[in-house]
Structure 1
């Protein structure tokens, strides 16, 4: 696998982790506004994943099929913490913000270290990633 496809696949896996967290979060919160926001975030992650996946497919490389092991471990950890927490919504938002931090950092690193053929695509998708991150950060601070 070439380095560009490897890098894009890593970003796809990290974005899928975030997407899965939001899919779970939709069912964990009772506030319809949060559910609506989380559904929006799922669609945003799906759009980023689709764009990156198209580039990998166009290069005739194997597409990442799942998220990361770290993402699965974080999900189990978050589920365990949520079962013990008194304020599930605040905890859920805090966990989602951590996922957004991870996605943002991965994209920033890829923009810095990426191959020339991936940088243009990453620059096009980065505003979506940044907007999701900023929106969750604002939400977390408004709840805490």
Structure 2
């Protein structure tokens, strides 16, 4: 596997963590507006996974089929924290916003590291949607904390 596909694979794994966590959290909260938001965010991450997995395949490698151990740990932590919290939605939003941070960090690192124009274009193509998701979750986290 090349450095480029390793970098893309890291992003795919982190995005998969995020999508799975959004799907899980959607089932744990009762507010239909938050449920809808989580469904939208999970769909956004699946689009990112699909786009970068396609690029990995075009580079001649196989995209990862699973997330990271840290993603599973974060989900477990959020579940435990939500059990004792008075506002489980705020707990999930806070933890999910951190997954958005991880996705953005990976994307920004990729833009620093990747020189191949076709691979960079793949990353640049998913950036606007990823940035919008990140910013929306950050705003919601701030609103719920106020």
Q: Give TM-score scaled by structure 1 length.
A: 0.95
Give the alignment of 1:79-118 within 5 angstroms. 79-116=79-116, 117-118=118-119
Mapping 1:99-138, distance limit 5 Å: 99-116=99-116, 117-138=118-139
Q: Does 1:6 align with 2:41?
A: no
Q: Partner residue of 1:141?
A: 142
Q: Which residue number in structure 1 is paired with residue 55 of structure 2?
A: 55
**Which of structure 1's runs of 4+ aligned residues deviate more than 6 A?**
none
Does the alignment pair 1:71 with 2:71?
A: yes
Pairs aligned (count): 144
Q: Which runs of 5+ in 2 are unaligned?
A: none
Q: What are the ranges of 5 or more consecutive residues in structure 1 without an aligned counterpart?
A: none
Q: What CA RMSD, in Å, does the superposition of the two structures yield over aligned residues?
A: 1.0
Tell me what 1:17 maps to: 17
**Structure 2 residue matching 1:130: 3-state secondary structure:** helix
> CA shift at 1:77, angstroms?
1.4
TM-score, L = length of structure 2: 0.94
| Superposition deviation, residue 115 in structure 1 | 3.2
Deviations 1:110-142, CA, capped at 9 Å, x for gaps: 111123242111111100110000000111111
User: How far apart in 1 are the matches of 2:133 and 2:88?
Assistant: 21
| Cross-structure match for 2:31 | 31
Change (3 A) 1:40 1:56: same
Q: Tell me the distance in 1 between the aligned counterparts of 2:76 and 2:144.
A: 23
Aligned residue in 2 for 1:41: 41
